[in-house]
């Protein structure tokens, strides 16, 4: 009954799908429903249905910063991957829907001679997810180029200017907001040329290959940077590279990553996180804070 009603609203919907198939960590039990809205209207109607029927929902993009629980999610996972429109407004302004990947947006900006996103080379995230976490690398971050965000809140479409987004390190107003759903983002890029942008992309690809090619499924950096010491440095100094709990392992290449070497469970990852936190606290008296998001349904 519920599934039929969901399908009527969002035809591209599935039932009993493993979250490990939707996340870069390749971990997680079954979601009761997974929906792929193809328009803003479908997205709006789907969220309205969930709210009216008191069905919990969670919005994901590429699933690149998520540790999904082994028990799954007893509700609706809304995946934005089919919201893919990109529009060049001229003067360096580009509007991209939430489901556009950073790779797709980077290709678009390169082809149009626009600079400012080259730091995002090889980051497996969507525009929406990148804004939520204020994604960044190599000295750049989303907040540098984000001008405004269009959201769905209380069944209304609202445009928030950058001053209302409260960007901080790996944080935005959306990080802990469960009633705000990003529809699209307006970016402001520097006008450059294809050759310069291509060169910058290649340089960042080489840097990332040397430092962050971990070879296994992961969710990227597990912990947020502290004020003075990088988590990867502290973890390495604690001698934790290669530490394992089951199939969850601190990467021997980049100690800020925990990788899934085969069939790791969320329980194993969380146990490993606890071991790392305790070791860093004992040696450096620092409390590591999670950068990844824990997704657990009731």
Q: What angle do CA 34, 100, 58 make, to 5 degrees?
A: 30
pLDDT of residue 257: 95
Burial of 262 (0-12, 13-18, 19+ CB in 10 A): exposed
Question: Residue 104: its pLDDT value, please?
Answer: 98
Residue 228 pLDDT level (bands cut at 50, 70, 90): confident
Please give the CATH topology (third level) of the domain spanning 86-196.
3.30.465
- Mean pLDDT, the chain, whole residue set: 95
According to CATH, what is the number of the domain 215-285? 3.90.78.10
Examine the pLDDT at 226 and tell me if it is beyond 90: no
pLDDT digits (tens, 9 = 90+) for 96-137: 999 999 999 999 999 999 999 999 998 999 999 999 999 998
Give the integer Cα–Cα distance in Å for 242 and 228: 24
In the prediction, which pLDDT does 214 show?
65
Q: Which two tokens stand for residue 95?
A: 């509007």
Interval 32-79: pLDDT, tens: 999 999 999 999 999 999 999 999 999 999 999 999 999 999 999 999
Active site residues: 170, 221, 291
From residue 87, give the alpha-carbon distance in Å to each of 48, 62, 95, 142.
Answer: 27, 21, 5, 18
pLDDT at 260: 97
Residue 172 has pLDDT above 70, yes or no: yes
* pLDDT per residue as tens digits for the range 181-198: 999 999 999 999 999 999
- pLDDT score of 212 more than 80: no
Query: What's the CATH fold of domain 2-79?
Result: 3.30.43
Q: For residue 231, with 0-12 CB atoms within 10 Å meaning exposed, 13-18 middle and 19 or more buried, which class applies?
A: buried
DSSP per position, the chain:
-HHHHHHHH-SSEEEEEEGGGTSTT----EEEEEE---SHHHHHHHHHHHHHTT--EEEESS-TTEEE-TT-EEEEEEE-TT---EEEEETTEEEEETT-BHHHHHHHHHHTTEES-GGGTT---BHHHHHHTT-EETTEEGGGTEEEEEEEETTEEEEEEGGGS--BTTB-TTTT-SSEEEEEEEEE-EE--HHHHHHHHHHHHHHHHHHS--SSEEEEE-B---SSS-HHHHHHHTT-TT-EETTEEE-SS-TTEEEESSS--HHHHHHHHHHHHHHHHHHH-----B-SEEE---
Prediction pTM value: 0.94
pLDDT, tens digit, for every residue of 261-292? 999 999 999 999 999 999 999 999 999 999 99
Q: Give the pLDDT of residue 112.
A: 97
The domain ranges of the chain are 2-79, 86-196, 215-285
């Amino acid at each position: 009954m519920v599934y039929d009603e969901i399908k009527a609203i969002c035809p591209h919907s599935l039932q009993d799908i493993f979250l490990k198939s939707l996340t870069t960590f390749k971990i997680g039990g079954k979601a009761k429903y997974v929906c792929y809205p193809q328009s803003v209207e479908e997205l709006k109607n789907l969220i309205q249905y969930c709210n009216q029927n008191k069905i919990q929902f969670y919005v994901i993009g590429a699933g690149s910063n998520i540790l999904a629980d082994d028990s799954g999610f007893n509700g609706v996972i809304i995946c934005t991957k089919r919201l893919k429109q990109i529009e060049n407004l001229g003067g360096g302004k580009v509007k991209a829907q939430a489901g556009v990947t950073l790779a797709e947006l980077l290709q678009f900006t390169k082809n149009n001679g626009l600079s400012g996103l080259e730091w995002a080379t090889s980051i497996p995230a969507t525009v929406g997810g990148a804004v939520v976490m204020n994604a960044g690398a190599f000295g750049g971050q989303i907040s540098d180029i984000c001008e405004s965000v269009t959201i769905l809140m209380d069944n209304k479409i609202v445009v928030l200017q950058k001053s209302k987004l409260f960007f901080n390190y790996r944080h935005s107003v959306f990080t802990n907001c469960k009633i705000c759903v990003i529809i699209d983002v307006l970016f402001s890029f520097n006008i450059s040329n294809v050759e310069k942008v291509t060169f910058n992309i290649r340089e960042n690809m080489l840097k990332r290959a040397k430092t962050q090619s971990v070879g296994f499924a992961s969710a990227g950096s597990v912990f947020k940077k502290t004020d003075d010491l990088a988590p990867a440095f502290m973890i390495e100094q604690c001698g934790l590279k290669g530490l394992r709990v089951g199939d969850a392992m601190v990467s021997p290449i980049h100690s800020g990553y925990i990788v899934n070497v085969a069939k790791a469970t969320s329980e194993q990852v969380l146990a490993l996180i606890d071991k790392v936190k305790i070791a860093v606290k004992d040696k450096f008296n620092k409390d590591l804070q999670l950068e990844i998001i824990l997704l657990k349904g009731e």
